[in-house]
Amino acid sequence: MAIQSSEELEVAKLLVDVLNLEDITAEEVDPEEMLFGDGLGLDSIDALEIALAISQKYGVQMKAEDESTREAFATLKSLTIFIFASKA
């Protein structure tokens, strides 16, 4: 697995926390593994929960209209890049 950056670990902790992902620790989330579908197996309910947590913690809003949001939800890595770029 690729090595997590400190920002990725921070976002991974948020995911594990809000989604009650008990089968995996924040440290174990592979930055390049797919979040939805076969990877972590998240679904659309999780997507709303994640969007809510991100808006509360970082003040960043997800928008499905933006291609960038769809791409952001691909992996931990892309989600982290999206959050920290939008926040800045």
Site residues for other proteins per CB under 8 A: 18-25, 28, 41, 43-45, 47-49, 51-52, 55-56, 59, 61-65, 69
DSSP 38: T
Minimum distance, C-beta of residue 83 to other proteins, in the bound complex (Å): 14
Considering the complex, what minimum distance in angstroms separates the CB of residue 51 from other proteins?
Answer: 5
* Closer CB to other proteins, 48 or 85, in the complex: 48
Cα-Cα-Cα-Cα torsion 23, 57, 86, 30, nearest 10 degrees, comes to -10
For residue 70, CA distances in Å to 1, 22, 24, 54, 78 come to: 23, 25, 24, 15, 10
Q: How far is the CB of 48 from other proteins (least distance, A)?
A: 5
